[in-house]
Protein backbone atom coordinates (compact mmCIF):
# COMPACT_ATOMS: atom_id res chain seq x y z
CA UNK A 1 0.00 0.00 0.00
CA UNK A 2 1.51 3.28 -1.00
CA UNK A 3 1.27 6.50 0.90
CA UNK A 4 0.86 4.89 4.32
CA UNK A 5 4.00 4.74 6.39
CA UNK A 6 4.81 4.57 10.06
CA UNK A 7 8.53 4.28 9.55
CA UNK A 8 8.54 1.02 11.50
CA UNK A 9 10.17 -1.04 8.81
CA UNK A 10 12.76 -1.05 6.11
CA UNK A 11 11.39 -3.32 3.41
CA UNK A 12 14.86 -3.70 1.93
CA UNK A 13 16.44 -5.05 5.12
CA UNK A 14 15.62 -8.75 5.12
CA UNK A 15 18.53 -9.58 7.44
CA UNK A 16 16.81 -8.07 10.49
CA UNK A 17 14.99 -10.88 12.35
CA UNK A 18 12.90 -8.26 14.18
CA UNK A 19 11.70 -6.56 10.99
CA UNK A 20 7.93 -6.38 10.65
CA UNK A 21 6.66 -8.22 7.55
CA UNK A 22 5.19 -6.02 4.83
CA UNK A 23 1.60 -7.17 5.41
CA UNK A 24 1.86 -6.46 9.14
CA UNK A 25 3.36 -3.02 8.54
CA UNK A 26 0.58 -2.23 6.08
CA UNK A 27 -2.07 -3.27 8.62
CA UNK A 28 -0.47 -1.03 11.24
CA UNK A 29 -0.27 1.81 8.72
CA UNK A 30 -4.02 1.59 8.09
CA UNK A 31 -4.76 1.59 11.80
CA UNK A 32 -2.59 4.66 12.31
CA UNK A 33 -5.05 6.50 10.07
CA UNK A 34 -8.29 5.59 11.89
CA UNK A 35 -9.45 8.79 13.64
CA UNK A 36 -10.38 8.88 17.33
CA UNK A 37 -14.03 7.96 17.87
CA UNK A 38 -14.12 5.75 14.78
CA UNK A 39 -13.40 2.07 14.23
CA UNK A 40 -12.80 -0.53 11.55
CA UNK A 41 -13.44 -4.24 11.55
CA UNK A 42 -10.72 -6.80 10.97
CA UNK A 43 -12.33 -7.50 7.59
CA UNK A 44 -12.39 -3.79 6.71
CA UNK A 45 -8.62 -3.60 7.12
CA UNK A 46 -8.08 -6.58 4.82
CA UNK A 47 -10.47 -5.04 2.28
CA UNK A 48 -8.63 -1.69 2.37
CA UNK A 49 -5.37 -3.51 1.71
CA UNK A 50 -6.81 -5.76 -0.99
CA UNK A 51 -5.21 -8.84 0.55
CA UNK A 52 -5.39 -11.06 3.61
CA UNK A 53 -8.53 -11.54 5.62
CA UNK A 54 -9.91 -10.92 9.10
CA UNK A 55 -7.87 -13.75 10.63
CA UNK A 56 -4.63 -12.48 9.13
CA UNK A 57 -5.36 -8.98 10.41
CA UNK A 58 -6.15 -10.48 13.82
CA UNK A 59 -2.82 -12.30 13.83
CA UNK A 60 -1.02 -9.04 13.09
CA UNK A 61 -2.90 -7.34 15.91
CA UNK A 62 -2.07 -10.16 18.35
CA UNK A 63 1.63 -9.75 17.59
CA UNK A 64 2.13 -6.03 16.90
CA UNK A 65 -1.19 -4.36 17.80
CA UNK A 66 0.22 -2.62 20.86
CA UNK A 67 2.00 -0.21 18.52
CA UNK A 68 -1.30 1.32 17.32
CA UNK A 69 -4.76 2.25 18.62
CA UNK A 70 -5.76 -1.42 18.87
CA UNK A 71 -9.19 -0.64 20.37
CA UNK A 72 -10.22 0.91 17.06
CA UNK A 73 -10.33 -2.56 15.47
CA UNK A 74 -13.48 -4.47 16.33
CA UNK A 75 -15.19 -7.68 15.34
CA UNK A 76 -17.87 -7.58 12.64
CA UNK A 77 -20.59 -7.31 15.31
CA UNK A 78 -18.93 -4.26 16.92
CA UNK A 79 -17.44 -6.22 19.82
CA UNK A 80 -14.10 -5.04 21.20
CA UNK A 81 -11.00 -7.22 21.00
CA UNK A 82 -11.52 -10.32 23.16
CA UNK A 83 -9.85 -10.12 26.53
CA UNK A 84 -9.54 -6.34 26.36
CA UNK A 85 -13.17 -5.34 26.75
CA UNK A 86 -12.75 -3.17 29.87
CA UNK A 87 -9.81 -1.18 28.53
CA UNK A 88 -11.43 -0.82 25.11
CA UNK A 89 -14.65 0.47 26.70
CA UNK A 90 -12.67 3.03 28.69
CA UNK A 91 -11.03 4.25 25.50
CA UNK A 92 -14.31 4.31 23.55
CA UNK A 93 -15.87 6.49 26.22
CA UNK A 94 -12.82 8.80 26.31
CA UNK A 95 -12.91 9.21 22.51
CA UNK A 96 -16.68 9.54 22.23
CA UNK A 97 -17.00 6.41 20.11
CA UNK A 98 -20.72 5.66 19.57
CA UNK A 99 -21.82 2.49 21.35
CA UNK A 100 -24.96 0.41 20.95
CA UNK A 101 -27.27 1.27 23.88
CA UNK A 102 -26.75 -0.93 26.91
CA UNK A 103 -23.75 -2.79 25.44
CA UNK A 104 -19.98 -2.63 25.06
CA UNK A 105 -20.37 -2.96 21.30
CA UNK A 106 -19.53 -0.12 18.98
CA UNK A 107 -22.39 1.14 16.83
CA UNK A 108 -20.85 0.44 13.44
CA UNK A 109 -23.54 2.41 11.62
CA UNK A 110 -22.21 5.55 13.33
CA UNK A 111 -18.57 4.81 14.11
CA UNK A 112 -17.27 2.85 11.10
CA UNK A 113 -14.41 4.61 9.33
CA UNK A 114 -14.87 4.72 5.55
CA UNK A 115 -11.19 4.09 4.87
CA UNK A 116 -7.99 5.70 3.70
CA UNK A 117 -9.46 6.99 0.43
CA UNK A 118 -11.78 9.29 2.39
CA UNK A 119 -9.37 10.36 5.11
CA UNK A 120 -8.87 13.80 3.59
CA UNK A 121 -5.12 13.52 3.11
CA UNK A 122 -3.25 14.01 -0.13
CA UNK A 123 -2.01 10.42 -0.20
CA UNK A 124 -5.37 9.01 0.92
Task: Output the pTM of the full model.
Answer: 0.80
**70-120 pLDDT, tens per residue?**
999 999 999 999 899 999 999 999 999 999 999 999 999 999 999 987 544
Is there a contact between 22 and 56 (Cβ–Cβ < 8 Å)? no
**19-32 pLDDT, tens per residue?**
789 999 999 999 99
Flag whether 59 is in a domain: yes
d(CA 105, CA 25): 27
**41-75 pLDDT, tens per residue?**
999 999 999 999 999 999 999 999 999 999 999 99
d(CA 38, CA 18): 30
Flag whether 32 is in a domain: yes
67 is in which domain, residue-wise? 22-112
Flag whether 47 is in a domain: yes
Flag whether 93 is in a domain: yes
pLDDT at 2 over 80: no
d(CA 8, CA 64): 11
Is there a contact between 104 and 80 (Cβ–Cβ < 8 Å)? yes
Flag whether 12 is in a domain: no
* CATH code for the domain in which residue 93 is found: 1.10.10.10
Counted domains in the chain: 1
Amino acid sequence: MTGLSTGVRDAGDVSDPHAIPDFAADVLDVLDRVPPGQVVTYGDVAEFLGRGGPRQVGAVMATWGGAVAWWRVVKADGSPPPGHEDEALRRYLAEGTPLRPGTRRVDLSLARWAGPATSGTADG
